[in-house]
Amino acid sequence: MLSGIGPKNNLEENNIKVRKELPVGRNLFDHPSCCITAKVSVPNSTSTSQLHYSSSGLELGMFYKGDIKGKVPSQEHFLDERPDIQFHASTNLLDPVARANAKSGKKNDVLTLVSTLNLPSSVGHLELRSSNPFIHPKIFLNYYEKPDDLYLMMSSLKLSREIFKQPPLSTVWGVESDVDKEMSDEDWEHYIRKKAFSSSHACGTVKMAPESKGGCVNHRLQVYGTKNLRVVDASIFPTIPAGNLNAPTAVVAWKASRLIEEDYKNKA
């Protein structure tokens, strides 16, 4: 955008010459996350070695289609090709208090279940606030703008609370969730909006699609209206993948290398 490729109005209001008007910065996707923290009464039970087993089990099994009632998923949900919820189990270093205790050398006997929306329907955007490249852009994530996203996250957190109540977490580790009290849907919404955070999976702002349909790059990753300019990163995704972005981005890079090689050979 700083080079003059982007939305005309946003470029002009920042005194940037418009070289090509494209919807750069629109179509911003991310995987929003939220978590439930539990106190663990058994000392040292959340050490890395012991936590490994529960974390591996969650990664294997807790991919499922959301149920607003917080129902524990059955086996047929485990191998869903496009899971909409992902769970992570870890000792809690997301909470500011836990981070402060960790820095001071105090033991954190806590366990966190993090819920992540794999297929959010809410879409954000970003805008330039200045032509100075050292000034951060304005970012509008629009988390939970669509009601479906809010209900899916609510469902996963209700499930997390049920997981904490199951043995051996409740019987051996003495886990006590920070949301053990009865909560209305309004309470859950307040909780989610207060504790929402990014998974750092932002993508989609230079969408690959026909220019007539809001695209910024074509199927060969070339920026419309330019020569010898490609975009090779997660920003070209039309929609967000249902999982971490590392592997899909590596595939884009691999494909780009082949496309560049093809173009070079065709010119020879």
Note the pLDDT tens digit of each residue in 143-200. 999 999 999 999 999 998 888 888 877 776 666 666 767 889 999 999 999 888 999 9
Domain 32-48+56-120+144-195, CATH number (from 3.40.50.1220, 3.40.605.10, 1.10.3720.10, 3.30.410.40): 3.30.410.40
pTM above 0.95, yes or no: no
CB burial readout 97-110, b (16+ within 10 A) else e: ebeebeeeeeebbb
Using CA atoms, how far apart are residues 145 and 130, in angstroms rounded to an integer?
A: 27
3-state secondary structure 34-53: EEEEEEECCCCCCCHHHHHH
Q: What's phi and psi for 113, nearest 5 deg?
A: -110, 120
pLDDT bin (cut points 50, 70, 90) of residue 90 is confident
Using CA atoms, how far apart are residues 148 and 45, in angstroms rounded to an integer?
A: 36
Which residue would you say has higher pLDDT here, 37 or 45?
37
Q: Is the pLDDT of residue 62 over 70?
A: no
Q: Is the pLDDT of residue 68 over 50?
A: no
The verdict on whether 201 is a catalytic residue reads yes
Average pLDDT across the chain, whole number: 83
Selected catalytic residue, list 31, 77, 125, 201: 201
Sorted by where each begins, the domain ranges of the chain are 32-48+56-120+144-195, 203-266
CB burial readout 179-203, b (16+ within 10 A) else e: beeebeeeebbebbeebeeebebbb
pLDDT at 239: 96
Which residue would you say has higher pLDDT here, 57 or 218?
218
Cβ neighbours, 10 Å, residue 47: 12
Mean pLDDT value across residues 42-51: 52
Residue 198 CA, distance from chain mean position:
6
The percent of residues in the chain predicted with pLDDT above 90, rounded, is 56
**DSSP-derived secondary structure letter, 234:** G
pLDDT at 92: 58
Mean pLDDT value across residues 241-259: 95
For 114, the enclosing helix (H) or strand (E) is: strand 110-117
Using CA atoms, how far apart are residues 199 and 45, in angstroms rounded to an integer?
A: 26
Using CA atoms, how far apart are residues 105 and 110, in angstroms rounded to an integer?
A: 15
pLDDT at 79: 54
pLDDT at 163: 86
Q: Is the pLDDT of residue 71 over 70?
A: no
User: CB of 129 within 8 A of CB of 136?
Assistant: yes
